[in-house]
Amino acid sequence: MQLVSYKKSYEFMNALVGLHSANLADLCIGFHAKKDNIMMIGIDLTIIGGFLILTLAIGLYHSRGITNFQHYAVGSRKMHTMVITLSMIATIYDGGVLHSRLDAYYRQGLYALMMDFNSVLNLYLASRFIITRLKEFLGHYSIAESMGSIYGPIIRVITALFGIMLAIAFLAAQIKVGATITKQLLPDAAQLSSYVMVLLVMVYAFFGGARAVALTDVYQFLFFGLCFPMLIFLCIYYAKDPAANWQKLNHTASFNITKLCTWDDTLASVLACFIWRSIIIFDPARIQRFYMSSSVTQAIKVFNRSAISRMVIPFLFLAVAIALHIGGHTIQSGKNVLYYIVEFAHLPGIRGIIISVIFALLMSTADSNLHAASVLFANDIWPILTAAIQPSSAPRRPELKIVRIASIFIGLLGLWIGLHTNNVMQLLSIAVNIYSPIVAVPFIMTCIGFRPRPKAILWSMAINMAIEIYHMYQPLGRTLANKNPFEAIALSGQRVFISLIISVIILLITHYVLPKQPHTGWVGIRDATAWNAQNQTTKRWWLERFQQLKLPFTTAYQASLFPKQESTFILLGIYLVISSIIALFLIQKAFLFPYIYGYMLVMAMGTTLALYPTLHSYQKGGSVLLYWIWLGLLFMLLYIAPLQFAKLGHYGPMVCAIVICSLGFSSILLSLEISMVLFILAVVIHNYIPPKVPFWQLFSANYAYLSMEPMYAIATIASAIIAMTIYINLREKSVAQLKVMNLTRAYEHKIALEAIYNQANWSRLDAVHNSNLLREIGNKLQTTLLYATTKDPFKKEIDLFIKKIYKLSNVLLWSAKEKRSIKLNRNSIQYTSIEENILRANQHILALGEPFSLLLRKQTTMNEILVDPELFECFLMLNLWEVNKSKQNGEHMVTLTITDTVLQYNYTVTPPIGQIPLSLPALAFWFSTDSVTQNTKAFYTVSEIEMPLILPTSKEQFYQLESRQIVEAHGGYTAITENDTILTCLYVLPVNGQQVMQLKNYDPVDLVANKLAETADSVMQEQALTKLLIQETTLSEEVIVQTIDLIKKAHGLVIRQSGVPYYTHPMTVVEILLEVTKDPTTILAGLLHDVIEDTPITLHQIDVMYGTEVASIVAHVTAYNTNGYPWKLRNEENKNKLNQCDDSRVVQVKLADRLHNLRTLYARKPVDQQRIAQETVTFYIPWGEKNKGPTQWLLEMQRICTQILQKKQ
């Protein structure tokens, strides 16, 4: 009898742990089996205990530093994005996942996979269309607070109550599921395990709040992820005939792809369920992850990454299900797959690991819901409740002790409900069906911009509540428990979807039936910056893809594709030869002749490519013809040929692997987008290339039997994809960094060259430089002071020298600014697209892998601006990059606002009547960390170019100085506003700023050549003019020689269109002037009349060197404004300026200049001759007559103009 008893005992334990031996012949075996079973239970309990202790330790460790409600509720919003993401995933996958999903995947296969993908869809839709609209709710602690901020305290309390109800339902469901599963695995410890689990959750949730919950969730989720390799191993470990089982699995309808694509009732119900469950209900635990995020950008990343995870994890469940079938495990319909795995597993500790995984899932969902419910009570119910009890007291802020006490009571309540609930599916169904229409629908409608009056919300909630109470007593609600998990989820999803639609209809009806109030209805959202930024990011992404598709048709891109390294040809050639040989071994015998010649051709071409760098015809840089040949070869050898190999090999695993490897190789040589387009084109072309073979039949037949070839093929494809992905990512990042480095280096080189050129240019003009002038003034002033004590008349001369010193200071300041400023190259200025440059800058930043979001507010119809394109792109890149990285930008979102405005260039001295300041249409570029609408002024004033000392306080602000230089070179305006929370950079650029741009008026070639544009004739003219001026005027030889040398150096290598050095023109003007005047002031002004307009010499320098009168004459005859900011005058402005001048010396210099230009007009184009002649006849001759200019000059001008104008007739 005792033997029989031991035998029965052992049989019971043998069934429990899944052992397959049933031969219990004697007492000794029974004794050892009992002993082994006790040992295995001890190992299981040790694993479970270790897991729970470690969970508690992690929770308590991260509970440190919780000192206020904010730390408890949202963790100070400083948690890493990945932590919040993993916490959310762990919350989604609750304790019933292994119990229900393993069973569903084993029995429903690919249909279960399709249905689980709806979670990917609803998370993506939530991040794309809802989370992006929640920026106005940042800083809140719960969904109830957000609803209350719109609709008032009553809606807030109701939302909180239903949120707590749903959170407690989830908490109770975890407890019930845990107790049920544990009872099957450890019958004697089921209830105790529930108490232990809830106690642990309450402890670390009590102390740590959001931070402890999130970090324990991460640990629990990672523990959950470890179970999949173990389960797959266990399922395959006992497989006896995996090949036969694989073939059997291929004929199973739920695992057959062809069957899956066949329309039937099952597929229809799955797709319907997919649609029904596509709307996320924003339960408190999930939406709490938004409030734990520091910004909308972070919250979007959390939901997007959660969606990606929800796409990966179902494949792991499917892998376990496939492993079960391959292992030959046949599980009866009444048996749960999880229990079956535990029973047949012989390895010690398996049961403990699975129970620990279940506990991990249970606790990760339970603690999140417990935390969310506690926050809802302490933040949204308790303050309002206390205010209602004590109306006179001020509104109370949420308190840390209240939320902790609430967590204890809510945890105990969830425990009691969980242990006394018989049907967990019914409990969850009721909670979800009540919460979804009453809370989720108003919240979603609020997020998309529909905001009715509070009474409409209340009526909608009341009507939906009545409907749901009615549904609770309908047969559908009571029969969900009798369905298998797959059908229960489908019916539940249908029920929720219908209730959501009905709730939307009720909400709309109540809003339009009740009396309307201002600012209700479809009013939109208060802060749409994140939504707009998301839309713009999507639009820019598609624009980038479109541009990439256009790239192959540009010569520059074709040149970039042509290999720069010889190794590229060699590696491609070797790959083609090897892949062709492998494909040749896999060809079907029926196709061997004549297609073998195609294989030989590919091998020959591969050999030629490998040897090409050694050939005499090799061109390293390539040519236009070679670019097209290279593209054609890539298309033929990496697309057409591999697909042909696949057809001739009947789409076997290895030939398909060759196709994938070729596609990967082409993606490295080309871009991924272009590779996919070329692949599709090759597939289309292959429809017309023999032989004709059925793809799907041959492809599926190759995988109907389990063999080593598919394994080798899968390993090859996986290796190729991993290698290709790593290489492309590294290459794209390095290319992006190189582009940014080249862009910034080009700017740095430009600045360095400008500094070198400007210093060299000013050194070349040393006659007006500081040392000589200061020495001269000092000597004269010293001489004057010797007599100052005895002779008062020298006081006037002393004042004159003091004024000269003051003017010289202006020259020195100007010189310093010239050495530090940027001068634009006239030939580089062109109209450039604003949005294209912004798109390129955006691409550069994103390619670097930095978190970045750009919100562009283009409030102008201007699409182009006249700038130096290279500097403009650098300017955009600098500001977008640095503002994004600034300490004020926690969201990593830059708002770029472009608006219309006006730049006004004022005079420093009151101008004559009729002269008005220059005003130019401009664009204001606001780079800001703040998303508020910027207040652009009607105009911005640019005063005289000064030399403000702007020192960056840190290296992070250096970009502001660089940007200021670029903007000032274009004649723009700069203003920077910065504090601890906001950084705003304003740059105003003229749309067409040719008049005000700081252009180079010298050629750097002059400096490099270190010579001047002088000829033997010009030198003789210098000598003759010097002798003539000494004879005819009172000017000293020193002054004459110094002035001619100055204009020669200033004009440098510039040649007039007549072919003579430019500086001969002012000398000829002086020769003409000598016909009517010997005045030295007029003569000097004639020599210097072009230096302000065409050289770096300034009016301040002329004033210091030659006096105020000479400077005044030069200022009047130059075509630039010299009263304030220098800009090039328009013809009308210049004529108005001359009309208001009654100085005969100005008239003489201007007419002499015009006369010499007319005498050399033959060198100009006919159209320019006509224009200048017409302008002379209509303005300069009448102006000269009016101001009594020399008659002989006017007559000669009239004669020349008449001859030119008659040519046209």
- Per residue in 1125-1154, pLDDT (tens digit) is 665 666 666 667 776 777 888 888 888 888
Let me know: does 1125 contact 903? Beta carbons within 8 Å: no
574 pLDDT higher than 80:
yes
Beta bridge partners of 522: 450
The residue among 389, 421, 453 that closes a domain is 421
pLDDT band at residue 361, thresholds of 50, 70 and 90? confident
Q: Tell me what the pLDDT averaged over the chain comes to.
A: 79
Q: Does one domain contain both 349 and 438? A: no
20 pLDDT higher than 50:
no
294 pLDDT higher than 50:
yes
Q: Does one domain contain both 1050 and 936? A: no
Amino acid 162: pLDDT: 93
State the average pLDDT over residues 770-799. Answer: 57
pLDDT band at residue 336, thresholds of 50, 70 and 90? confident
470 closest CA partner among 513, 423, 510, 502: 502
Give whole-number Cα distances, 446 to 137, 162, 439, 458, 522, in Å: 11, 17, 11, 14, 9
Amino acid 33: pLDDT: 46
Max mean pLDDT among 413-427, 613-627, 770-784, 1070-1084 falls in 1070-1084
What value, to the nearest 5°, has the Cα angle with vertex 776 and ends 774 and 781?
90
- Per residue in 662-698, pLDDT (tens digit) is 888 888 888 777 888 888 899 889 888 888 888 777 7
The residue among 473, 498, 522 that closes a domain is 522
Q: Does one domain contain both 1149 and 1032? A: yes
Let me know: does 1199 contact 1158? Beta carbons within 8 Å: no
Amino acid 3: pLDDT: 34
Amino acid at 402: I
Between 578 and 566, whose confidence is greater?
A: 578
State the Cα–Cα distance between residues 1064 and 1012, nearest whole angstrom.
Answer: 12
770 pLDDT higher than 70:
no
pLDDT band at residue 142, thresholds of 50, 70 and 90? very high
Amino acid 164: pLDDT: 93
Q: Does one domain contain both 941 and 979? A: yes
Amino acid 717: pLDDT: 77
**CATH code assigned at 119:** 1.20.1730.10
- Per residue in 878-917, pLDDT (tens digit) is 888 888 888 888 778 899 999 999 998 876 555 555 567 7
Q: Does one domain contain both 873 and 885? A: yes
Amino acid 991: pLDDT: 93
725 pLDDT higher than 60:
yes
Q: Does one domain contain both 340 and 480? A: no
Percent of the chain exceeding pLDDT 70 equals 79
Percent of the chain exceeding pLDDT 90 equals 9
The answer to whether residue 913 sits within a structural domain is: yes
Beta bridge partners of 156: none
The answer to whether residue 623 sits within a structural domain is: yes
The answer to whether residue 739 sits within a structural domain is: no
Amino acid 762: pLDDT: 54
Token pair of 1093 as six digits: 């307009």
Half-sphere exposure of 1023 (CA within 13 A, CB side): 6
Amino acid 1175: pLDDT: 84
Q: Does one domain contain both 953 and 831? A: yes
Q: Does one domain contain both 1029 and 906? A: no
For strands 864-867 and 940-942, give the pairing.
unpaired
Between 95 and 608, whose confidence is greater?
A: 608
Q: Does one domain contain both 141 and 290? A: yes
Between 1035 and 952, whose confidence is greater?
A: 1035
Q: Does one domain contain both 399 and 444? A: no
State the average pLDDT over residues 382-407. Answer: 78
State the Cα–Cα distance between residues 896 and 231, nearest whole angstrom.
Answer: 52
Between 619 and 809, whose confidence is greater?
A: 619
Give whole-number Cα distances, 1156 to 614, 1025, 1070, 1072, 1177, in Å: 64, 16, 10, 8, 15
Let me know: does 336 contact 101? Beta carbons within 8 Å: no
Domain that residue 464 falls in:
422-522
Token pair of 1129 as six digits: 């005058």
The answer to whether residue 27 sits within a structural domain is: no
1051 pLDDT higher than 90:
no
785 pLDDT higher than 80:
no
Give whole-number Cα distances, 158 to 152, 161, 372, 790, 818, in Å: 11, 5, 15, 100, 69
- Per residue in 48-85, pLDDT (tens digit) is 888 888 888 888 888 887 888 888 888 888 888 899 99
283 closest CA partner among 91, 481, 500: 91
1073 pLDDT higher than 90:
no
Q: Does one domain contain both 350 and 417? A: yes
22 pLDDT higher than 50:
no
The answer to whether residue 766 sits within a structural domain is: no
Amino acid 1208: pLDDT: 64
**CATH code assigned at 950:** 3.30.565.10
Q: Does one domain contain both 398 and 435? A: no
- Per residue in 1084-1111, pLDDT (tens digit) is 888 888 887 777 777 777 877 788 888 8
741-746 long-range CB contacts below 8 Å, 24 or more apart?
743/844, 743/870, 743/873, 743/874, 743/877, 744/874, 744/877, 744/878, 746/870, 746/874
The residue among 676, 709, 742 that closes a domain is 709
pLDDT band at residue 443, thresholds of 50, 70 and 90? very high
Let me know: does 430 contact 492? Beta carbons within 8 Å: no
Amino acid 917: pLDDT: 77
The answer to whether residue 66 sits within a structural domain is: yes
Count of domains forming the chain: 5
Give whole-number Cα distances, 769 to 593, 819, 1090, in Å: 88, 13, 19
pLDDT band at residue 834, thresholds of 50, 70 and 90? very high
The answer to whether residue 539 sits within a structural domain is: no
The answer to whether residue 1074 sits within a structural domain is: yes
